[in-house]
Amino acid sequence: MRYIYSTLIICLFSFIFFSCGIWLLPPLEVVSITAENTVNIVFSAQPSEESIIKAFSMTEEGQSVSGTFSFNDKTVVFSPLNGIRTNYEYYIIISTTAEDKNGNSLLKDFEYRFYTKQDIENPEILDIIPANESNLILAPEKISITFSKTIDTVSFEKSVSISPSITYILEWNNEFTAVDIIPAKPLNEGTRYTITVNTTLTDIYRNAMLSAFRSTFLYGFDRNPPEILIYHETKNGVSDLIIPDIINQNIPSDSDFIIEFNKRVQIESIAGFVEITPSISITVIPDIAAKNSARIQLNQKPEWEKSYTIKLKKGITDTFGNKTEEDIIFPIVFNLEKHRPVVFSGGALVNNTEYELINSATNYSAITLDVVHFVPGGNTETPTELYYAFRISNDAHSLSLVSAMQAISISTRNSCAYISLRTMNFLTAADLEYDDIYALLDDNNGGKLCILKIGIDIENSDNRGFIIFSIRNNISDNLGNTMVESLSFTLNKQ
């Protein structure tokens, strides 16, 4: 009895170890990272040099950084070709393709951001004279702007604009924290002037202003209809102008839209003048206090790469009774690459030289588990692998392996077979170059190709039935983009 008990324990341990071995071995971890003249990374185990070189990326103010690697046991040193310079922001990603010598990878992408700037606070505009929405009887001698910190004067000259255009000179205070815009000629009476400072404005440490600034004043009596601008604004507060009558590309799908008027309007009724086509649920929130702006919030996620139009209908009225005389159309496309959804390109079930394609075209088609390779009543001795190909954002590094584990499943009906997932890993670029599976799955519909290789165990039976391959829409890339909808493919086992 003791011998039988011991044998059972050993068999159980062997089953767990070999079926789920990738979960029992400790994952690779980043123990520490420092950056001075070089980037020094210490891992929990000796890393695979080839995998680290592929997995590591570094940017300087968003631009890729080239350099050389050196390896010493668990320590990796990356030396940028231009060194690590002062007054810059650096961002490092080590993706899950990083492995140790035993093939254990990082569980998730490692991200590290650091600054070599003395100051990382973004500049702001604290005050402007004449004040926003001022109505002036006398022409102002100057326009005065006060900043929160010392400004790079060259960046101000590039970022500031006045409409209608005027000729002017600039006078700065000694600390370069305030500037006077002095008109070279008298301003035109009965004209509303708009001063705009865009986000290219920076301080002396190259920190940029986060949101565009806009202020208006009226000199004399106003007989003109209100002028309209629309900005799209992301969740982190970054905004950009949308131009009417041309296609505005790369709009983030999480944007709000800000309608700004150059003066006070009858803002309470603005929702009746806003229309988005194709129809999408929106909420229009007017600024009741200032009466010169409104926010459009999207109540549902727009389709990626689909064209929409925002229409502001004619008849919007200002406080002087002037009305807009025609509709204004703003064409937009929600195709920011960073927000590209995950798309399933196709799959293949491969055993030896035989394969079955898994996609919408083969849904409900017949599948034969050849008894030569899949012996009924026993586990096959020939390795069986399932390949899934996805298209992800070019800005993403890879799919999240954790999300793939949660989203992917295989089920059967009528006890036609017993199938379990054993291992999961992503194929590297080198694997794709030599693996015939690349040609089977790649539909080249844009985005970055990401192929998931899944080792599976199959115990065949003599029964017929359905084999169902499911992918839930919570599968995501490292940026958080998911599939639009869950997918299920059913094959009829003969």
Can you give the pLDDT at residue 443? 64
Pairing type for strands 168-172 and 134-136 reads unpaired
> Does CATH place domain 120-221 in 3.40.830.10?
no
- Helix ranges (H only) for 384-477 are 401-407, 429-434, 437-441
Judge if pTM exceeds 0.95.
Answer: no
Can you give the pLDDT at residue 106? 94
DSSP strand E in 198-243: where? 213-219, 228-233, 239-242
What does pLDDT average to over the chain? Answer: 88
Can you give the pLDDT at residue 13? 42
Say yes or no to pLDDT of 389 above 50. Answer: yes
> Does CATH place domain 25-115 in 2.60.40.1220?
yes
DSSP strand E in 81-189: where? 89-94, 110-115, 125-129, 134-136, 143-147, 160-163, 168-172, 178-183
pLDDT in tens, 241-275: 999 999 999 999 999 999 999 888 999 999 999 99
Can you give the pLDDT at residue 341? 95
Per-residue pLDDT band at 408 (split at 50, 70, 90): very high
Chain CA centroid to CA 209, Å: 21
In sequence order, the 6+-apart residues with CB closer than 8 A to the CB of 436 are: none
Q: Which long-range contacts (CB under 8 A, 24 or more apart) does 14-23 make?
A: 19/420, 19/422, 19/457, 20/422, 21/423, 22/104, 22/423, 22/424, 22/425
Say yes or no to pLDDT of 315 above 90. Answer: yes
Give mean pLDDT, residues 292-307: 94
Can you give the pLDDT at residue 432? 63
Say yes or no to pLDDT of 357 above 60. Answer: yes
Most confident range (mean pLDDT) of 101-115, 358-372, 415-429 is 101-115
Say yes or no to pLDDT of 19 above 90. Answer: no
Grouping H, G, I as helix, E, B as strand and the rest as coil, residue 260 is strand
CATH class of segment(s) 223-337: mainly beta
Query: Could you say which architecture CATH assigns to the domain 340-493?
Result: Sandwich (2.60)
Can you give the pLDDT at residue 20? 40
Can you give the pLDDT at residue 444? 67
The percentage of the chain sitting over the pLDDT mark of 70, rounded to a whole number, equals 89
Question: Is 340-493 in the same CATH topology as 223-337?
Answer: yes
Say yes or no to pLDDT of 387 above 50. Answer: yes
Question: φ, ψ for residue 434 (rounded to 5)?
Answer: -110, -5
- The domain ranges of the chain are 25-115, 120-221, 223-337, 340-493
Per-residue pLDDT band at 119 (split at 50, 70, 90): confident
pLDDT in tens, 203-227: 999 899 999 999 999 898 778 899 9
Least confident of 269-283, 310-324, 391-405, 446-460: 446-460
Per-residue pLDDT band at 7 (split at 50, 70, 90): very low
Per-residue pLDDT band at 433 (split at 50, 70, 90): low
Per-residue pLDDT band at 338 (split at 50, 70, 90): very high
Give mean pLDDT, residues 324-349: 93
Per-residue pLDDT band at 170 (split at 50, 70, 90): very high
End-to-end CA distance of the chain: 43
Sheet arrangement for strand 30-35: 30-35, 39-43, 75-80, 67-72
The percentage of the chain sitting over the pLDDT mark of 90, rounded to a whole number, equals 66
C-alpha distances (whole Å) from 441 to each of 188, 430, 433, 437, 468 are: 66, 16, 13, 6, 19
Can you give the pLDDT at residue 2? 41
Say yes or no to pLDDT of 21 above 50. Answer: no
